Structure 1
């Protein structure tokens, strides 16, 4: 059993890091999964079991800390749909938004992540309502381009359908 855990530990860390977006939290997730394996009775394929448990525990942590409401406008989540992919992307959004150039970074952060109404953002930024709307839309477009270029995200009809293998160190 020890040989198996040593062999898959880096893989588990990669899975947890991609989902949580945080190295320390990924370490905690892997420790939880390894402890669960130790406490489990007769697991036939521990490597496969560990990967599944790691993925599920990481998603649980993301769901617990990040409500998906703030990203609905960015990824098109609708009620009743599986939000696992959305949760993963939600964990990536804050740091990707920070890579946008000003003034788009502030526009997307305020309107989509902090949920400030566009009219209020327009007033605080000294913009007309249409100017604020244009800035937010351009920022969202840039954010989408960065997501699909850097990160392993695929959208269909505005929904996250795949978050495959990471394309960068952060996702």
Structure 2
């Protein structure tokens, strides 16, 4: 390998120096090319393709050099705090609005819906807590959602567009006593 490297070293130096604006980095890149070629010599299919193979390694090493020099901005420290927010506060606020309507459902439907939607409990945990199979818990939660939706539609008028609900208002509470 060393003899073949010596045959191509000067041509590779010229190739790299034309593509790198930092003369001090040229020798570092050539050294990286030699190390990569030595470590991966078993991948070379024939010695006739050695020159092209070395140029491919040199090209990739040059690309790695420029990728490493790309500027980046530090993330602000407060960004980390935002990622830790799991939506718990939003879920609690929504729960305060929805809990009375869920409480109006029969216990068979209200309990699994409360556990799934307000407490964020996984359906397997709901199944375990209520003594149901997983498929039974999934079915119960789905039926609960349907019944809850029917109750919501009976109590409220919703205005919707492509992005979802834009406004809502209570229907006449005299006609709908459960609202």
Q: Compare relative contact order (CA 8 Å, sep 6+) and give the higher one, 1 or 2.
A: 1
TM-score by length of 1: 0.44
